[in-house]
């Protein structure tokens, strides 16, 4: 089995398991939908702002929702293997890098599905104007990939630690903040109809650095 | 290391005295507030140096599996955090004098706070992994992953949005904007703080080794 087909097999396995269990994956989407609804209530009431002042706040809120929705779902990648007792079998049969690649791919697809739920909610409930749809899509792809890479790698690190769910948020937030900051800056520019070349460059650089780091350290993080 | 200890005392005393007495206060700053540069920047430099040392020793641990390297890495992070907190405190003192508020959410302040969180998370992660064989490996992987993403926090994130922070030593002009006495005291302080770090690192790492192995008698035997 080549590395690519192995990674794809891990991704399909995770998707099948999550779809079979349903509760975990539905809770991620439910969290995203609830958060958008709550934010829209707040924006209409207490946070009512003139239309010109809204884009930065909307961009920040969008990425905060995506981050916390991701934090409920993405760390499950390796944690679920340990909880179900399948981690050892996976470690013995597939190289760590391939497992990491497969789980990252699944998390990336999960993020995109989550964004597909959140963005229409934002457009409708918060009257958000996605000025340049292509730029918004590029930002989501670049931001989502970085979020998936870092979350998956950290999931491997905390999989066998105590208090792993709290620990994940503690260690993920400072590592992901530069990505979130660049993604918010890119979203503000994209919403204004411009192509956010500078923040996108930062996102791509961050994605590259995180992917290289995760690739180099995958074995250390996951294997015995 | 003993020689360093005895050299440091008069050297640091001389640096502190010079910092208050020799250079004239810089123009464009309120009162004597510019003198904080002799303490604030060396603290920031020392914490960054400590985190780099932690990464180097983490890499060494993963290569050799020598527990002494893990002791040094963990000690470096603890000392780096101490200097990181001192950086935040000295920065906050300066901010209150110059900008009228202890904390301004300036991008550089915020990114440094997150850097402190990033390495505080290292300590959380260490304490959450109960398996003593796995703990140094997970900690080393995290320290290396963190150092890959650290430049985004220290160099990229503060430059995405406008900052109140005075120009840093690493500035777009590529010049050190200081007169000769200021430059002499500044680099003297950098050297002194680096020496102080080495001395503290030696003590902390040896303390960790003692905690791991138990007291060593004069004959070199470890007590039970």
The Cα–Cα gap between B126 and A140 comes to: 33
- pLDDT of B170 > 60? The answer is no
Question: Confidence band (pLDDT; 50, 70, 90) for A48?
Answer: low
- pLDDT of A46 > 60? The answer is no
Q: Which residues of B touch A187 (CB under 8 A)?
A: none
- Using the Cβ of A43 and the Cβ atoms of chain B, whether some distance falls under 8 Å is answered with no
For A130-154, write each residue's pLDDT tens digit: 788 889 999 999 999 999 999 999 9
**The two three-digit tokens of residue B42, written as one number:** 């060396």
**The two three-digit tokens of residue B208, written as one number:** 């960790």
Residue with the bigger pLDDT between B85 and A1: it is B85
Average pLDDT, chain A: 85
**Which candidate, B216, B215, B206, places its Cα nearest to that of B74?**
B206
The Cα–Cα gap between A178 and A199 comes to: 10
| Average of per-residue pLDDT across B142-158 | 85
| Average of per-residue pLDDT across A186-204 | 89
Find the CB nearest B153 among A178, A185, A205. Answer: A178
The Cα–Cα gap between B15 and B37 comes to: 12
The Cα–Cα gap between B106 and B108 comes to: 5
Q: Residues A75, A80, A82, A86: is their CA dihedral positive or negative?
A: negative
For B65-94, write each residue's pLDDT tens digit: 999 999 999 999 999 999 999 999 999 998
- Using the Cβ of A142 and the Cβ atoms of chain B, whether some distance falls under 8 Å is answered with no
pLDDT of residue B162: 64
Which residue has 């969008």 as its token pair? A62
The structural domain count of chain A equals 1
Is A182 within 8 Å of B121 when comparing Cβ atoms?
no
Q: Are B41 and B190 in contact (CB under 8 A)?
A: yes
Q: Are B148 and A179 in contact (CB under 8 A)?
A: no
Residues 6+ apart with CB under 8 A from B87: B40, B43, B44, B47, B112
Find the CB nearest B149 among A173, A175, A185. Answer: A175
pTM over 0.90: no
- Using the Cβ of A88 and the Cβ atoms of chain B, whether some distance falls under 8 Å is answered with no
Find the CB nearest B145 among A153, A164, A173. Answer: A153
- pLDDT of A58 > 50? The answer is yes
Average pLDDT, chain B: 85
Residue with the bigger pLDDT between A126 and B12: it is B12
Q: Which residues of A touch B149 (CB under 8 A)?
A: 150, 175, 178, 206, 209-210, 213
What's the domain range around A39?
3-222
Is B153 within 8 Å of A177 when comparing Cβ atoms?
yes
Is A175 within 8 Å of B118 when comparing Cβ atoms?
yes
- pLDDT of B64 > 90? The answer is yes
For B91-105, write each residue's pLDDT tens digit: 999 888 888 888 877
């Amino acid at each position: 089995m080549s590395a690519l087909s192995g990674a794809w097999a891990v991704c399909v396995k995770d998707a099948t398991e999550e779809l079979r269990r349903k509760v975990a994956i539905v809770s991620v989407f439910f969290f995203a939908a609830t958060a958008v609804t709550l934010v829209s209530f707040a924006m209409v009431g207490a946070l009512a702002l003139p239309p010109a002042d809204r884009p930065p706040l909307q961009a920040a809120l969008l990425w905060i929702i995506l981050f916390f929705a991701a934090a409920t779902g993405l760390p499950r990648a390796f944690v679920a293997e340990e909880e179900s007792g399948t981690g050892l079998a996976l470690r013995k049969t597939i190289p760590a890098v391939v497992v990491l690649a497969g789980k990252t791919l699944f998390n990336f697809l999960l993020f995109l599905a989550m964004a597909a739920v959140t963005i229409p909610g934002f457009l409708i409930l918060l009257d958000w104007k996605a000025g340049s749809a292509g730029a918004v899509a590029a930002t989501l792809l670049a931001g989502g990939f970085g979020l998936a890479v870092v979350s998956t790698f950290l999931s491997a690190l905390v999989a066998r630690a105590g208090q792993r769910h709290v620990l994940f948020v503690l260690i993920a937030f400072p590592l992901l903040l530069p990505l979130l900051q660049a993604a918010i800056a890119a979203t503000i520019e994209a919403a204004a109809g411009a192509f956010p070349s500078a923040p996108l460059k930062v996102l791509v650089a961050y994605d590259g650095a995180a992917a290289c780091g995760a690739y180099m350290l995958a074995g250390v993080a996951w294997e015995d | 290391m003993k020689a360093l200890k005895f050299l440091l005392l008069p050297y640091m005393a001389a640096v502190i005295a010079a910092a208050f007495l020799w250079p004239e206060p810089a123009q464009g700053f309120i009162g004597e507030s510019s003198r904080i540069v002799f303490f604030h920047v060396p603290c920031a430099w020392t914490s960054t140096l400590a985190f780099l040392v932690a990464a180097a020793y983490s890499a060494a641990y993963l290569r050799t599996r020598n527990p002494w390297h893990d002791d040094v890495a963990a000690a470096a992070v603890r000392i780096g955090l101490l200097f990181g907190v001192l950086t935040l405190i000295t920065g906050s003192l300066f901010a209150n004098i110059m900008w009228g508020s202890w904390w301004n959410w300036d991008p550089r302040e915020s990114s440094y706070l997150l850097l402190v969180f990033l390495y505080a998370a290292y300590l959380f992660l260490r304490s959450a992994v109960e398996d003593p064989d796995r703990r140094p490996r997970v900690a080393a992987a995290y320290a290396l992953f963190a150092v890959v993403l650290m430049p985004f926090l220290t160099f990229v994130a503060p430059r995405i949005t406008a900052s109140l922070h005075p120009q840093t030593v690493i500035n777009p002009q590529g010049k050190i904007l200081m007169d000769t006495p200021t430059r002499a005291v500044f680099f003297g302080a950098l050297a002194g703080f680096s020496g102080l770090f080495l001395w503290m690192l030696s003590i902390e790492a040896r303390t960790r080794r003692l905690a791991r192995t138990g007291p060593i008698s004069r004959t070199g035997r470890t007590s039970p």
